[in-house]
Amino acid sequence: MKLATWNVNSLRARADRVEDFLERSDTDVLAIQETKCKDENFPWEVFERLGYAVAHFGFNQWNGVAIASRVGLTDVQRTFPGQPAFGKGGHDPVQEARAISAVVGEDLRVWSLYVPNGRALNDEHMAYKLNWLDALREHIGAELDENPQQKLALVGDWNIAPYDQDVWDIEFFYENEMTHVSAPERERFHAFEEILHDPVRDQHEQAFTYWDYQKLRFPKNEGMRIDFALVSPAVSTGETMIDRDERKGKGPSDHVPVIVEVCS
């Protein structure tokens, strides 16, 4: 089974690119982030035409996550137990569309995750982000404690660069007090590495998955590695790939797909 994750930065704007990617890559399961649409304007026909079943979770033009599968799609879950809501400036907390999961193939539960962006080190979004990650780690840890043989894949845009080589210039990030590389964020990511494995890093030690649209970041290769596919110990994997070519051409997302071969 070929599993891919991709923050498409607006699915409606890039439906043609997603369709081309699915056909070209022969992907079986695609986890999508930042669909930026509701169910009523989701491009269902693109996936139906190619033989994929789809589960989507989106409220408006922000956030939004989905899973498309041509190898089965059952037991869909929108949000995870204990997932924090967010209320800016004291407003009533709202549950955001940032997590969806389903069982694909015979028994692999895939989570498509769009981890909150902290925005700034002292922003209220940062506390939300850290709480969100803590709650997810608690849930996944409890599931694996109960069943160590459970097959899980947590994939998506984590909005964290967990190691110095995961950004184009770590000193630039530190000097400008930027998010994604702070100690609290990295500690949360490393907590997942205690129970999950990153097969992509095994084969691609240093590679970026995101390049900002501004300041010619992509031509200069001034990128970040913030998209990951983490799997539980019971999941056997083969070849992996970071599809850098998807950042090229007309109207690309600022992220590229991360692909993992999951062995039966």
The mean pLDDT of 3-9, rounded to a whole number, is 98
What is the residue-wise DSSP string for 95-113? --S-EEEEEETTTEEEEEE
Q: 75 labelled as ligand-binding? A: no
Annotated catalytic residues are 114, 157, 255
Q: 34 labelled as ligand-binding? A: yes
The mean pLDDT of 43-54, rounded to a whole number, is 97
| Residue range 83-92, pLDDT digits in tens | 999 987 777 8
Q: 91 labelled as ligand-binding? A: no
- Band the pLDDT of 61: cuts 50, 70, 90: confident
Q: Give the contacts of 40 (CB within 8 A, at least 6 positions apart).
A: none
Q: 56 labelled as ligand-binding? A: no
What is residue 33's predicted lDDT score, i.e. its pLDDT?
Answer: 98
Q: 60 labelled as ligand-binding? A: no
What is residue 231's predicted lDDT score, i.e. its pLDDT?
Answer: 98
Report the alpha-carbon distance of residue 158 to residue 155 in Å, rounded. 8
* 3-state DSSP assignment of residue 192: helix
Report the alpha-carbon distance of residue 103 to residue 111 in Å, rounded. 9
Which two structure tokens, joined as six digits, stand for 57? 């979770």
| Residue range 146-192, pLDDT digits in tens | 999 999 999 999 999 999 999 999 999 999 999 999 999 999 999 99
Among candidate residues 81, 58, 197, the one with its CA nearest the CA of residue 134: 81
What is the residue-wise DSSP string for 55-93? EEE--SSS--EEEEESS--EEEEES-TTPPPB-GGGPPP
Q: 22 and 52 in contact (C-beta within 8 Å)? A: yes
Q: 147 labelled as ligand-binding? A: no
Nearest-5° Cα angle at 114, 144 to 57 = 95
